[in-house]
Structure 1
Amino acid sequence: MDIGGALAELRQSLGSRGLERVEECLRILVGQQAPAYLHDDQEPTRLFFPGISALPWHDSSGLAWVAEMEAAYPRIREEFLALREADAVFAPFEDLYTKELGWQGWDTYQLYRNGTWREEALQRCPATRRALDTTPHGPRDAMFTVLNPGVHITPHTGGVNLLLTAHLPLVVPPGCGIKVGDEERGWEEGKVILFDDSFIHEAWNRGTRQRAVLLWDIWHPELTPVEIRALEILMPRFHRYLMAV
């Protein structure tokens, strides 16, 4: 990746102030600078943004967009259930960067990928689209996910610390749980949870019915507006670079 060229373009469109951490992120990405991880359980091995806090779990209370998302829960759940009743295709989860992470029994209905909405999802999930647009969502993925009975998503890391993962639980039977870092929690239907998936995490369904959540990512709350805009511009380049190495 041409760091000098990328920074020149950013400065031309965004100005020269506030890009210091973005430049450092780029240098870490290409190996010109070593990352300084802040927590033993954090592994942002794909993309590390310096100077932001490293917390496995983030407090979602008091965030305006969380209240709006939770208020939309009944409509989002209805759209999910309609997809299931209509036999919409839920495909096994696949990580674009590490193909070996393919858990049988963790099935997904993709809403958008790399920030681009699927036309079918736009048609079938308008309330979900409106709700997601109220959040500071990042450019990665959004999906409905189903975890089948008896399935264990083994410990892994998302590898990127500048985004947090949000869940809106839709169907949560007994026996389901998630662990991020060294803390285990459950889900409550209609209540958003927020965690940093660059920490080692796992999830399981030890019950007898499927668990379902709406999953998407948001920008780390300590990023500045100019940093977020710069990262929005850079993300397609990050993706191409990471796929090539």
Structure 2
Amino acid sequence: MFTVLELCNILIENSFIATLLVVAGFYFISRRYRFAFMKTEQITHESEYCNDPNCVRCNKYHDTVSKALNKISGVKSRVTSFKIQKGIDFVYRPIPDGYRQKPNVFYYDNLEPRNIWDKHSKMRIKDCQELEKSVQTIRDDIKFLLENPDKGIWKRNQTPNGSWDVFHFINQGSAITVNQTICPKTMNIVNRLSSVMKENVFGNVLISVLKPGTVITPHYGPTNIRLRCHLGLKVSPEYLLTVDGQTTTWENGKCLVFDDSYLHSVKHEANKNSEQEDRVVLIIDLWHPDLSEEERDAINLCFHP
């Protein structure tokens, strides 16, 4: 039998075992006492989060973390391995004062924290320029898709008001082949991008359609390693995005980039003097530009779908 002091020394020397025990403990408590560990702001309606059993952010939280911990021994760099372990452990502990980023699956240290990436900061993201140059080609693809809604697989996300429909080309790191074949020109453009995230559970590429009157309530995304890029295909100023208290809107043909590990929400403010139209954007998850290729490969290994 080990003494308490010997057990403490073992845990100190082996951070992997310590992290695994912490995760297992919280997992058991959440199952036993039905506690919720997702960080939300005064969530009061069940409809404010989806019930999709395959959603990483909502329901596959513990499975995603457990699989990552099992794969972390395959990471070659000890520094990167430690940072990934620390990033998983981060979401199970009380968030330190001053943190406004509150991802509910994985947090990675030392990435530039910026809620909305302005024109100057977007210069670091070369893919935005490629998308904006290709917007008409993408519009032609999506026009065909919207005129033929019976083709492919659409999903409807739950919202307290309005309607939010999505058409995934990549869903949580998995290619939706039947959808990709409907918009081949768009996929050719996506596949040319250097920073698109498509080999781990945090990566998505999709068309997002909001109806007038829609409200997407405040929530946090699963991680800070990605930036959400919205290419405006059909937008109007009545649709508002708020990220960490800063409100903006989309522009047709332009990329809006933000970090969804901050609290964010969307709403449509009806204007009687304007025509009520859907908001249509192409959403692409991009790697945070501060991550090296080695770090990206390690994260892909641990969080492979």
- TM-score range (shorter-chain normalised) is 0.7 to 0.9
Q: Larger relative CO (CA 8 A, sep 6+): 1 or 2?
A: 1
- In 2, Cα distance between equivalents of 1:189 and 1:209: 13
- Write the mapping of 1:36-47 to structure 2, written as runs, cut at 5 A: 39-47=98-106
**Number of positions where the alignment pairs a residue of Structure 1 with one of Structure 2:** 225
Q: Distance in 1 between matches of 2:233 and 2:189?
A: 14
- Answer with 1 or 2: which has the greater Rg: 2
After superposition, the Cα gap between the structure-2 partners of 1:192 and 1:151, relative to the gap in structure 1 and judged at 3 Å, is same
What corresponds to 1:10 in structure 2?
Answer: 75
For the structure 1 residues 65 and 2, does the alpha-carbon distance in structure 2 shift closer, same or farther, using more than 3 Å as the test? closer
Q: Distance in 2 between matches of 1:102 and 1:151?
A: 8
Q: Structure 2: how far apart are the matches of 1:4 and 1:25?
A: 9
**2:216 matched to which residue of 1?**
153
Alpha-carbon shift at residue 28 of structure 1 (Å): 4.0
Say yes or no: does 1:60 pair with 2:122: yes
Q: Please say which of residues 117-126 and 214-223 is displaced more in the overlay.
A: 117-126
Shift of 1:222: 0.6
Does residue 226 of the first structure (1) align with residue 284 of the second (2)? no
What is the CA distance between 1:34 and its match in structure 2?
A: 5.0
Where do 5+ consecutive residues of structure 1 fail to align? 95-100, 240-245
TM-score, reference length from structure 1: 0.81
Alignment partner of 1:194 is 2:257: yes
Structure 1 residue identity aligned to 2:178: E
Q: In the superposition, relative to structure 1, how do residues 86 and 6 fare at CA in structure 2: closer, same or farther (>3 Å)?
A: closer
Q: 1:57 to 1:4 in 2, by over 3 A?
A: closer
One-letter amino acid matched to 2:300:
E
**Structure 1 segments (4+ residues) deviating >3 Å:** 1-8, 30-40, 101-104
The answer to whether the 8 A contact 1:60-1:193 is kept is: no
Q: Deviations over 1:106-148 (max 9, x none)?
A: 1111111132221222211111112212331113211100010
| 1:93 to partner: Cα distance | 2.4
TM-score if structure 2 supplies the norm length?
A: 0.66
* 1:130 alignment partner, SS class: helix
1:83 match: 145
Aligned to 1:226, the other structure's residue is in SS state: helix
- The answer to whether the Cα contact below 8 Å between 1:122 and 1:129 also exists between their aligned partners in 2 is yes
Q: Secondary structure at the match of 2:197?
A: strand
Compute the RMSD of aligned alpha carbons.
2.6
Aligned residues with identical type, % of pairs: 23
Larger relative helix fraction: 2
Please give the residue correspondences for 1:144-223 in structure 2 after superposition, counting only pairs within 5 Å: 144-207=207-270, 208-223=276-291
Alignment of 1:118 onto 2:118? no
**In 1, Cα distance between equivalents of 2:91 and 2:147:** 51
2:109 maps to which residue? 50
Looking at secondary structure, tell me which structure has more strand per residue: 1
